[in-house]
Structure formats: C-alpha cells, structure tokens
Amino acid sequence: MGFTSCFKDMFPGWVATTPVQRSILLPMQVTLAHVGARAGKKDEFDALTAVYLERCSAFARCNAEAFRTEQALLDWLGKQRGRTPAAVLLLDSRGKQLSSEGFAGWLGTRRDQGAQHIVFAIGPADGWSDGARKQADLLLSLGPLTLARALARLVMAEQLYRAFTILTGHPYHTGH
C-alpha cells in the first residue's frame, strides 16, 4: 500500500488544499490539451469543460493547455516526456471506440504502470498528422458521430471525470 492510500485511510475526510499537499497526495497529473486556441476567448463550452476538470481535481492534478499548431503541442509533449513518465491519448476519428468502463480501465492500467502524467489531446480541425499519431499510446474515437471540437473536448472532460469515479467506486457513473 502506497503512502497516498495509507494517508487517505488514516484521514478519510481530509482534502488537500495547498499545491504542496496536492502534489504529495495526488501524484498523477492530467492535462487536457487541444490544438486551435482562439486567442484566449472563453465560451460556455470552456466553462463546462472547466467544471469537469475542477471535479477531476479531487483525483489528480488537472490542467488545460491550448496550442496554436500541432507542432507546438508535439514540442511541448517532448519536453513533458523528458521530465516524467507520460502517457498520451489522442482523440482521433479513426481511433478505437471504448465504453466508459473500458476507458476507465485504460486510465487505471496506465496509472498502475507508473504513468505520472497523462495527456489527452484534441487535434487540429483537419485531423492529426501521421507523425503525431505515432507518438500516441492510445488513439481514441468518441464514437461514430462527428462532434464539434469544443463539444468533443467537453465530452472528453466528462469521460475523464467519469473514469475517475469508476476507478474509485464513486456513485456518479452508476447513478446515471
């Protein structure tokens, strides 16, 4: 049993509030990245995505990143991989379709294999290049429907929260 779960058993109601507490108790970091930043414009999609990322922050350190180009994202990814063991999931219409339970299983396996940083990325409007696809640990398709990219990002954020609740036995998933 690791330090985190041991600590949580000892102080079940305690919640990490400072960055130092969080970095010790939530060893995994999750980044929701996308290509195609609209120069800082925020809309209702961003607001809802932020709500799910905030909820996810009970389970992992979470942040969002926006990149103007695919290359900028790949450069950033290279630096991240140099720092910590990372896993990369790219949303791709040609990718694998998973159920929410299947996706949670993938996330749990990566976590248990020691991935300290998991990056979920939504590509440019015309899709990922072959070079980007080769860097992915998983190409995930959200299903047969084509979704607006801001909506796909929101669905991804909700699935991430759902996956954490599945892995921890929180009633969010089964309550639906």
Q: Which residues bind a copy of itself (CB under 8 A)?
A: 44-45, 47-48, 51, 97-100, 102-103, 125, 142-149, 151, 154-155, 158-159, 162, 173, 175-176
Based on CB atoms, which residue is closest to a copy of itself, 86 or 163?
163
Please state the closest distance from residue 9 (CB atom) to a copy of itself, in A: 30
Residue placing its CB nearer to a copy of itself in the complex, 9 or 44: 44
Instruction: Compare residues 31 and 159 and give the one whose CB is closer to a copy of itself.
Output: 159
Instruction: Please state the closest distance from residue 44 (CB atom) to a copy of itself, in A.
Output: 5
Q: Whole-angstrom Cα distance, residue 96 to residue 92? A: 8
At closest approach, how far in Å is the CB of 143 from a copy of itself?
2
Q: Please return the burial class of 27, using the count of CB atoms within 10 Å of its CB with bins 0-12, 13-18 and 19+.
A: middle
Q: Which is nearer to a copy of itself, 131 or 143 (CB)?
A: 143
CA 37 to each of CA 70, 122, 141, 144, 152: distance values in angstroms, whole numbers, following the listed order:
11, 11, 21, 25, 15
* CA-based max dimension of the chain: 50
CB 145, min distance to a copy of itself, A = 5
61, 22 Cβ separation under 8 angstroms: yes
